[in-house]
Structure 1
Amino acid sequence: MKKLVLASIFLIGITDYVKAQDSTGPKIPFDGIETNWQNGSDRRDSSVFHGKYFVPSVMMDINYTHSFNNPNDNTVVGSTALARNNEVQLSQLSLGGDFYYENARAKVMLQFGTRSNVVPRNDLSPYRGQYQLANVYRYLSEAYVGYHFNKWYGINVDAGLFMSYIGLNSYYQVENWEYQASFTSDNTPWFFNGVRIQIFPSKTLKIEPWIINGWQSYGKFNKMPGLGANITWNPNSNLKLLTNDYYGTDAAGLPERKRFHSDNSLLVRYYNKPQSKGISKMAFSLTGDLGFEKGGGVNGFKNDSSKGPAQYFLSSMIYNRIWFAKNKFAWTIGGGVMTNPGRYLVLYPTGQASPLPDPNNPTQTEGKYPFSANPGDQFKGWDCSSNLDWMPNQSFLLRLEYVHRHSSVPYFAGAGGVTSPNGYTTTPLPADWRPDLVKSEDRIILALLFRL
């Protein structure tokens, strides 16, 4: 009897020890919280790859878009997702993956296609110094190395090229509810180059400081680095709150001009019956941005005769998404508004030839006929879109989308295009020719998105 009691005590002790070991195992941030419904997040339940040291990733984004303005050169203006009208385009081919060895970590994602040209064109920092940084980094969307510390739910310290969260939308279209991003997302950064520190003090909270070269810039515009942080709170599977805040000097050659930006989003899933043959899920995302530049001839939110005109950024966007047929189909509708006096975050229209900006005017944009972005220049815009998605599995998405965009000044490519009278860059330009810019556009987008 005594032996039986001792054996029982031993077994109970072993069981308690195993439970204790399990409770002190690896802590995974957001473990058990569904995030695959969120706008700007990976919609997969899991990867098909399960390597110990390397988890590969493959993404493809192919689109066809038709503008009802029918520009003669097929050029899309004011978009980082689209490049050419009325043509089948490989927007992005991404190859790479995540590497792990003990607590060391790294990620490399190569990028090819039109996005490798469309996104870097908006970064003028390579004009400071040598080595053509826009070409050096052009074919990389992510490339960083770091270390994971086993503290709380983890601390990651990474250095290199990594994604920006400002504007909610993901750099990768397969993660977004809409294809053509609203002004709030399209006119804010897609990437950062520098150092980030991801701190997970609890399962539901992330605090992520940044020390970076600048606002979507491969290099620094001035001596000061960009400083910022992301805070994400995801308390359960139906709610997500996040804020991104940034401070830096991002006007080339004007170190006294400081930029501040605050980006804030709320995501709510308000209905969830994943096995329903009718409506299976409903959710919305709401984003609001506020920012300004001050100093160096501009004065934030207020016009001042001695300090300069107001130069700020106000924008918001809202999208609602409804899934059907066990999440095989989805319908999204939404849009946004933006005002940006000074146009410092406007995606500038392209023009023929594209010489370097005037070195005596660091705020001038590229092109033979540059889009005016002087202090006090006004720009307001609004957009709306609706799309239908077919998602037969977690790796494939077919999207049909209709988009309307409008601006307060001529901005989008009109019938005459932005290149030359006949649309070719080799055509000599008549003295009286100018890019044909109009105030609105309507377009239809068909996109095939793949992720493995």
Structure 2
Amino acid sequence: MKRPSSPPRRGRALALLGLVLALAAPRIARADDAGAPFEPVEEKKPYEIEAYVETHYQWNFNRPSNRITHLRGFDNRHNTFTLTNLALGGSFDARGAFGRVMLQVGHTPSTYYLKEPSFPGASGTNATSAEVFKYVQEAYAGYRFAKVDGLSVAAGIFLSPVGLETLAIHSSDQWSRSNLFFALPIYHTGVKLSYALSDMIVATLAAYNGWNSVVDDNDGKSIAFDVQLMPLDAIAIAFVYFTGIERPTGAPEGQHWRHLFDLQMLAEAHRRLHFGLHFDGGVEPTRFGSSGWVASALYARVTILEEVLRFALRGDVFREYVARDGADTATPIFWPTKRLGSLTSTLDYRPHRNVSFRLEHRFDSAASDVFYRRQVMGDGSPGSPYVANARRQNTITLGATAWY
């Protein structure tokens, strides 16, 4: 199990996903295997360069006139070839010091950084907004303590430990992300302390600005605790508790602590059959009562041809409860509807170990009109926003990604 120095993905889910992928991979011969010739061990480099490109074409059967596949996350444009994300960066780990920088450009960062707070500047101070930071996926530095084996500290911008899915598509089974991934926090800025209690247990305690904020929009800080367990060779489990004030200063709902509980599990039923479960729920007291949510996602993947062809299914549902007190209603935390769900099927063809072609169908449904269909009213401006007119949408996506 990789120690918690620098997980290169949204929190620790890549380490969990990597367990399952490793279990499915062919066993690598070692020098001490019977009959295996001795080969000198290649010295590990103190740095690694990483890069990936994601591009896709999508058809939305609603054929919206504004060409928007709404509330989808990053594959959000109808009837066009487009660049989902281009990322380039690297990491280093030498003599106890480690760090990681990953830069990006595309629909992916421009979409999820919409949640970043914006503040004006002054004559000698720059303004701050998503435009300043959206090209940064991760950027942190850390130190591994030599006298306390397994203990490390890091500070910077991190991908969130919440959820199973990854920001890089090649490390996920689907091209699109679940509603849980898109709604729940994607990145955090702060400091974290990690400790590997054993090869099977890793715990992390962190202090962050909050959800999706390089610059905080209130005076409070959020606390996160997550633990990663590997009780059996074929099972990996993670639990995250995240709490803090997330509403901006001056919000009518007041400054109350939000509580998030997140459970993730991956299991190998057979070397060609893998399952995943993601459950998330939370509550936030407000002046109008308590808001909250319950969400879950189920995953299954079948390997048809070893390392070449896979088929994956995912289903998710997300229900939000908004506080109300007479005529007063809290601003929703996540959605403009009380329920959102999706069903996704994906065929993954990998002709090369670093290339993946995906063919994906996805069906989205909601409790009220939140999607777009055919002729859409409005022009998208602040004075005339697009008016949602559909509760369902179906899409077909053809995507390609390559990575190094």
**For the superposition of Structure 1 and Structure 2, which TM-score range results when normalised by the shorter chain?**
0.7 to 0.9
Give the TM-score normalised by structure 2: 0.83
Inter-partner Cα distance in structure 1 for 2:344 and 2:396 = 10
| Structure 2 residues not aligned, in runs of 5+ | 5-14, 29-41
Query: Which residue in 2 is equivalent to 1:145?
Result: 141
Inter-partner Cα distance in structure 1 for 2:106 and 2:112 = 11
Inter-partner Cα distance in structure 1 for 2:153 and 2:396 = 42
Inter-partner Cα distance in structure 1 for 2:188 and 2:286 = 24
Query: Which residue in 1 is equivalent to 2:256?
Result: 257
Distance 1:212 1:89, change over 3 A: same
* 8 A contact 1:44–1:395 mirrored in 2: no
* 8 A contact 1:205–1:233 mirrored in 2: yes
Query: Which residue in 1 is equivalent to 2:35?
Result: none
Does 2:395 align with 1:450? Answer: no
Query: Which residue in 2 is equivalent to 1:36?
Result: 18
Does 2:129 align with 1:133? Answer: yes
* 8 A contact 1:312–1:340 mirrored in 2: yes
Q: Offset at 1:36?
A: 3.1
* 8 A contact 1:256–1:296 mirrored in 2: no
SS, match of residue 374 in structure 2: coil
Among candidates 92, 99, 108, match of residue 99 of structure 1: 92
Q: Offset at 1:234?
A: 1.8
Among candidates 255, 269, 287, match of residue 278 of structure 2: 287
Residue deviations 1:117-158 (CA, integer Å, cap 9, x gap): 1111123x2248762231221100000011112356522211
Counterpart amino acid of residue 233 in structure 1: L
* 8 A contact 2:65–2:375 mirrored in 1: yes
Query: Which residue in 1 is equivalent to 2:373?
Result: 414
SS, match of residue 217 in structure 1: coil
The number of aligned residues is 369
Query: Which residue in 2 is equivalent to 1:24?
Result: none
Inter-partner Cα distance in structure 1 for 2:246 and 2:26 = 36
* 8 A contact 1:111–1:141 mirrored in 2: yes
* 8 A contact 1:402–1:444 mirrored in 2: yes
Distance 1:383 1:35, change over 3 A: closer
Does 2:335 align with 1:383? Answer: no
Inter-partner Cα distance in structure 2 for 1:203 and 1:256 = 40
1:297-308 alignment runs, 5 A limit: 297-299=288-290
Query: Which residue in 2 is equivalent to 1:346?
Result: none
1:17-416 alignment runs, 5 A limit: 29=3, 36=18, 38=20, 52-123=45-116, 125-127=117-119, 131-150=127-146, 154-253=150-249, 254=251, 255-272=254-271, 281-299=272-290, 311-342=291-322, 373=332, 379-416=338-375
SS, match of residue 180 in structure 2: helix
Counterpart amino acid of residue 171 in structure 1: L
Distance 1:416 1:400, change over 3 A: same
Inter-partner Cα distance in structure 2 for 1:374 and 1:105 = 35
Distance 1:164 1:50, change over 3 A: farther
Inter-partner Cα distance in structure 2 for 1:57 and 1:288 = 31
CA RMSD, 1 decimal:
3.2
Inter-partner Cα distance in structure 2 for 1:418 and 1:197 = 50
Inter-partner Cα distance in structure 2 for 1:375 and 1:176 = 23
Inter-partner Cα distance in structure 1 for 2:3 and 2:239 = 18
SS, match of residue 228 in structure 1: strand
Q: Offset at 1:38?
A: 3.8
Inter-partner Cα distance in structure 1 for 2:265 and 2:63 = 37
* 8 A contact 2:16–2:266 mirrored in 1: no
Inter-partner Cα distance in structure 2 for 1:262 and 1:128 = 34
Q: Offset at 1:342?
A: 2.5
Counterpart amino acid of residue 66 in structure 1: W
* 8 A contact 1:36–1:44 mirrored in 2: no
Q: Offset at 1:374?
A: 9.0
SS, match of residue 184 in structure 1: helix
Q: Offset at 1:256?
A: 2.3
Inter-partner Cα distance in structure 1 for 2:330 and 2:216 = 15
Inter-partner Cα distance in structure 1 for 2:57 and 2:74 = 11
Q: Which has the higher strand share?
A: 2
Residue deviations 1:360-395 (CA, integer Å, cap 9, x gap): x9976xxxxxxxx49998511221111111122331
Q: Offset at 1:327?
A: 2.8
Query: Which residue in 2 is equivalent to 1:347?
Result: none
Inter-partner Cα distance in structure 2 for 1:319 and 1:34 = 14
Distance 1:151 1:401, change over 3 A: farther
SS, match of residue 321 in structure 2: coil
Inter-partner Cα distance in structure 1 for 2:231 and 2:335 = 43
SS, match of residue 118 in structure 2: helix
Counterpart amino acid of residue 164 in structure 1: S
Q: Offset at 1:35?
A: 5.1
| Structure 1 residues not aligned, in runs of 5+ | 1-26, 273-280, 300-310, 344-360, 365-372
Inter-partner Cα distance in structure 1 for 2:288 and 2:120 = 21
SS, match of residue 220 in structure 1: coil
* 8 A contact 1:342–1:377 mirrored in 2: no
Percentage of pairs with the same residue: 20
Counterpart amino acid of residue 36 in structure 1: G
Inter-partner Cα distance in structure 1 for 2:378 and 2:103 = 30
Inter-partner Cα distance in structure 1 for 2:149 and 2:236 = 18
Give the TM-score normalised by structure 1: 0.74
Inter-partner Cα distance in structure 2 for 1:68 and 1:375 = 25
* 8 A contact 1:167–1:184 mirrored in 2: yes
Counterpart amino acid of residue 185 in structure 2: P
Inter-partner Cα distance in structure 1 for 2:43 and 2:102 = 18
Inter-partner Cα distance in structure 2 for 1:44 and 1:251 = 48
